[in-house]
Structure 1
Amino acid sequence: MGLRDEARGIFADALHEVEIGAVMRREVRCEGGWLSVRGLRYRLAEFERVVVVAIGKAALPMVEGAMSALGNVVRVEGVVVGVSLPRVADARLRYLVGSHPVPDERSGAAADAVLDLMTSCDERCLVLVLLSGGASSLVERPLSAAMTMEDAAELHRELVHSGLAIGDMNTLRKHFSAVKGGRLAVAARGVTMCTLIVSDVPPGDASVVGSGSTVADPTTVEDCWRIVREHAESLRLSEKLRRYFEAAELVETPKAGDVAFAKTDAMVLLSSDELCAAARKSAERRGFAVVVDNGCDEWGYREAAAYLLDRAEVLARENERVCVLSAGEVSVPLSGKVGVGGRNQQFVLECARLAAERGLVVTVLSAGSDGIDGNSQVAGGVADETTVKRARELGLSVEDALARFDSYELLAALGDAIVTGPTGNNLRDLRVLLVGRVPKGGTTVDDAIQRHVVTA
């Protein structure tokens, strides 16, 4: 099996391992009158009903797994908000489609439905909340009656194009919204609640996915004032929105210690860590020495490509077969008219260009776990040291494709686009670099790290 096929196999194995339905069935079980959720146990006889709220791009597979576990042993009702409707609906659930990536009236209607359900809960309800990426836009309603859904749409658009860190974006979203920053938990008035999260952001913070709808918010109105002040040039808010965030009476989000969180638990079910772990298991089974390096997360694609190629080249001097895995996302600054592609395809073509330039024998795969890369209909691509030469033989240029942000056409022509279709999951991107042995000497591991720390 060639290295391109090995890389494809590692990615496919990783996607299979983190398939949401299977994970939900494994982690959410109903046995002997108890509901078990990844180590937490709830005695169902203590509750008159179980309320299920699922929001996000992965809402459908998450809720299917949960409903399969719950079966018919207890009264269940709920609301599911995703990007599409299910092929087969559960009569106990209400299904809605919100808008993504910018909220609209559908998102507002979905927020109203979720809030109505939450406010109907009492101490005899067990609430199971299933959150995944995209929830911030799919369900939205301004906290202030003076703000409209048009204002919400403007805020989301401006935040996406502002260049702000995800933490700063979520700080503003939480203080704008009636359903974010712990306010869904407040609406449910202190009931027993368990939130399961499929995370599309860097691991470690449950308050980021869906802008922390059911968890205490550590950010403050003072943070909002600072963000709006420090990013006045890049954050081009309307005068109405700017006055809202600068107002002294800006309403604070609920904090730790609030009674709303007295009986709540939240845990990350899946993240890019699990995606990497699954890929590592597959690569080791295939005989590769594996190193996981997420140090270039959110770097520019050029810097990330050079850095990871250096790491792989160094490690290959001591091992016959090396696999470097890296999860997260790289950035691709766009300018002018762009073609068809995405950050993953741009990354692999840059690696192909560098490999040809250096004479490095390497195979690189980069793909999105959601199955969609940028404005293309593929998940990503795979390339190696022959990509530049094979492209030229077809009259195509890797350099030209990179300059035009038009990576898809070239990769598709070579048969090197990664096609999965929408996976119903979103654990960010996975990069796989496979290298054989290279001569000793030259770049060291420390050199590879230090060369790129300053530039990224």
Structure 2
Amino acid sequence: MTPETGPKLEELHSAAQSMFLHALDACDIGKAFDRHLHFDGTTLIRHPSAALKPVSIPLDRYKKVFVISFGKAAMTMLDALIERLPKKIHLRGVCCAPVTPKKRNWRIRYFTGGHPLPNEDSFAAAEATLKLLKRARKDTFVFFLISGGGSAMLELPRNQKISLDDTIAFHETLIASGASITEINTIRKYFSAVKGGRLALAAPEAEKLSLLLADVPLKDLGSVASSPTLPNQSTLEDCREVLARFHLLEKFPPSVRTYFESLSSDVAAETHGPIADEAFRHTQFDTLLSNHDFLNAARDRAQELGFRVVIDNACDDWDYADASRYLLKRFHELRAQHPRLCLLSSGEVTVQLGPQPGCGGRNQQFALASAFDLARYEGQPLVVLSAGSDGIDGNSPAAGAIVDTTTIARAREFHFDPEGNLVRFDTCPLFTALGDTIITGPTGNNLRDLRILLASRDE
């Protein structure tokens, strides 16, 4: 680092982190509730939007109101709803979140679900949810508060003979497969007793409103927590194709492999037909926040800081190395034209884990891969930040990491082998030693990942 580039790099580090943190703050869940919903007495008013008509729902016409909240943002969403819910409402519910609150609402059963792998509470929460929904009739209104991470946190196999250990191995295999989140969730929908619309089917007569925090592209809302309350748009043939393409059957535990090999068209029929049609006719949904909100907030902050902003989400669901190569090629082309450039990219990249991965996650993996490219431009003020909106990157305590043209050299000075760290998926120790991890702690939100590429030079 030269005396000239040092201050510029520090300024870009600060700018990138400012964009990320501003985007997190802008996507406050309470504010999102108020933009979409409000209560007039005991009547729920859903505000109109480009996609949805205004709706008024008099909750006092229902004897019972249930709330089922699960996913990484389950606690935040539940608290926001209860704060706004009229006190006269007779409420009961289930909440499955990464942590349980110190102060519990006696009307809610709380569970600490596992993520990225299910745990005992994931099973217990699913069983409690199905038991509660069986009590729902025409006199019942159900709020479903659904956020990313719910696929693991609320889980129960359709085949009760499949154990928790085998279910964990099933999820672990999917995560390490290199398949996209949409492909993974296609398989989960045919495995689970609570996915692919089955929660809605558990209370077919009740009126239901699903409020989503979308950690998937808006065109694929069915992938949020593997579509527990929306119709399953995939087919059994889709499921079999993904299983075959990633050679998954031979990697599954025997009980799971036998289950998928014996699947028939009956499983798909469960989510179709008159009962399913009735259940989904009584189901509405609204997207409170999405990755677009997160991305646009970062864009606004970048523009405030004087950057020319370009957005490129083409590499969503790509392998992390391919995504890094693509975005950096685009970045170098654009910065030749714009002296102060911010290239933003949202969504998620994929990783195919080795047999014994270290500590890290897809964001730190992307960042370290990008650092090798930036090292070729020593002396130039270039920075890349990659971090997740949930504040958790893989199995590490970090949300992600930030790199620049000096990262690789500094890592070697600390006696790291950055190539080895990349291959072993062991990136967090390196970034921690350099002081370049992004630490937020769990945010109570989940709107996918954000990649920020910054350049600044004198004209």
User: What is the TM-score of this pair, normalised by structure 1?
Assistant: 0.87
Give the drift of 1:424: 1.4
**Cα shift at 1:167:** 3.2
1:383 aligns with 2:400: no
Match of 1:12? 21
Deviation of the 1:113 alpha carbon: 1.0
Cα distance in 1, alignment partners of residues 361 and 156 from structure 2 = 31
Given the superposition, is the C-alpha separation of residues 266 and 347 from structure 1 closer, same or farther in structure 2, using an over 3 Å criterion?
Answer: same
1:423 is matched with 443
For 1:152-206, what per-residue CA distance to the aligned partner results, in whole angstroms no more than 9, with x for missing partners?
A: 3343233333333433432332223221111111111232111011123333222
Q: Distance in 1 between matches of 2:413 and 2:178?
A: 39
Equivalent-residue separation in structure 2 for 1:303 and 1:221 (angstroms): 30
Tell me what 2:382 maps to: 362
Match of residue 132 from structure 1: 147
Instruction: Work out which of the residue numbers 43, 47, 50 in structure 2 matches 1:34.
Output: 43
Asked if the contact 1:228–1:242 (Cα under 8 Å) also holds between the matched residues in 2, the reply is no
Give the conservation status (yes or no) of the 8 Å contact 1:143–1:178. yes
Q: 1:170 aligns with which of 176, 182, 185?
A: 185
Query: Given that residues 290 and 323 in structure 1 are in contact (C-alpha distance below 8 angstroms), is that contact kept between their aligned partners in structure 2?
Result: yes
The structure-2 alpha-carbon separation of the partners of 1:101 and 1:388, relative to structure 1 and needing over 3 Å to count, comes to closer
Residue from 203, 226, 235 that aligns with 1:188:
203
- Report the counterpart of residue 317 of structure 1 in structure 2: 336
Q: Is 1:204 the equivalent of 2:219?
A: yes
Between the two proteins, the alignment pairs up a number of residues equal to 439
Q: For residues 125 and 382 of structure 1, do their structure 2 counterparts lie closer, same or farther at Cα, with a shift above 3 Å needed?
A: same
| Residue in structure 2 matching 1:293, options 312, 317, 324 | 312
Q: Corresponding residue for 2:11?
A: 2
Judge which range, 210-219 or 160-169, deviates more.
Answer: 160-169
Deviation at 1:13, TM superposition (A): 0.3
TM-score, with normalisation over the residues of structure 2? 0.87
Task: Work out whether residues 147 and 213 of structure 2, in 8 Å CA contact, stay in contact via their aligned partners in 1.
Answer: yes
CA 1:152–1:333 in 2, change beyond 3 Å: closer, same or farther? closer
Task: Note the C-alpha offset of 1:361.
Answer: 3.1
Asked if the contact 1:181–1:214 (Cα under 8 Å) also holds between the matched residues in 2, the reply is: yes
Tell which deviates more after alignment, 332-341 or 216-225: 332-341
Equivalent AA in structure 2 for residue 355 of structure 1: L
Q: Deviations over 1:281-312 (max 9, x none)?
A: 11111111111111112223333223222222
Letter aligned with residue 255 of structure 1: H
**Contact 1:52 1:77 (C-alpha < 8 Å) held by counterparts:** yes
Task: Give 1:436's aligned residue.
Answer: 456
Q: Which letter does structure 2 place at the counterpart of 1:293?
A: D
Q: Which runs of 5+ in 1 are unaligned?
A: 440-456
Instruction: Note if contact 2:16-2:452 (Cα within 8 Å) is conserved in structure 1.
Output: yes
Gaps spanning 5+ residues in structure 2: where? 1-9, 49-54
- The answer (yes or no) to whether the contact 1:55–1:139 under 8 Å persists in 2 is yes
Of residues 87-96 and 19-28 in structure 1, the stretch that sits farther from structure 2 once superposed is 19-28
Aligned residues of 1:206 and 1:267 also touching (Cα < 8 A): no
Distance 2:193 2:416 in 1: 51
| Separation (CA, whole Å) in 2 of partners of 1:172 and 1:99 | 19
Question: Partners in 2 of 1:355 and 1:54 — Cα distance?
Answer: 42
CA 1:438/1:236 → structure 2, altered by over 3 Å: closer, same or farther? farther
Q: Percent of aligned positions with the same letter in both sequences?
A: 41
